[in-house]
């Protein structure tokens, strides 16, 4: 299927960048690396994490979402918002 996508993309001048694509496995055998897949003549890398539309997914028996990055950004923005208003109250 990747070969078909690559050949049709080549006909329409669509270039697939294998450096921005990863292989990601979910299920009982998630920790066993299956065969290597290629796009064109470049192989795709296997990854334990996947970022899609700003959401971080973690490979495992079931699909898991990593919200720690989003939580950290929220707390950072909230703390900065509070501190920017508190500095005037301490004077």
| Residue pLDDT, tens place only, 60-79 | 888 888 888 888 888 898 88
Q: Is the pLDDT of residue 13 over 70?
A: yes
| Residue pLDDT, tens place only, 22-35 | 888 888 877 777 77
Report how many domains make up the chain: 1
User: What is the value of pTM for the model shown?
Assistant: 0.58
Of all residues in the chain, what percent carry a pLDDT higher than 90? 3
Question: Buried b vs exposed e over 72-81: b needs ≥16 C-beta within 10 Å?
Answer: eeeeeeeeee
Rounded to an integer, the average pLDDT of 55-62 is 86
Q: Do 50 and 62 form a contact (C-beta atoms < 8 A)? A: no
Whether residue 23 is contained in a domain is answered as: yes
Whether residue 79 is contained in a domain is answered as: no
Whether residue 73 is contained in a domain is answered as: no
Whether residue 51 is contained in a domain is answered as: yes
Whether residue 31 is contained in a domain is answered as: yes
Whether residue 34 is contained in a domain is answered as: yes
Q: How far apart are CA 43 and CA 39, in angstroms?
A: 6
Whether residue 75 is contained in a domain is answered as: no
- For residue 44, what are the domain limits? 2-66
Whether residue 77 is contained in a domain is answered as: no
């Amino acid at each position: 299927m990747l070969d078909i996508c690559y050949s049709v993309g080549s006909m329409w001048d669509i270039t697939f960048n294998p450096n921005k694509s990863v292989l990601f496995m979910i299920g009982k055998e998630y920790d066993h690396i299956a065969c290597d897949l290629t796009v064109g003549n470049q192989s795709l890398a296997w990854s334990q994490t996947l970022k899609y539309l700003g959401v971080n997914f973690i490979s495992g028996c079931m699909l898991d979402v990593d919200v720690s990055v989003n939580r950290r950004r929220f707390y950072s923005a909230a703390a900065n918002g509070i501190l920017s208003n508190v500095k005037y109250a301490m004077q």
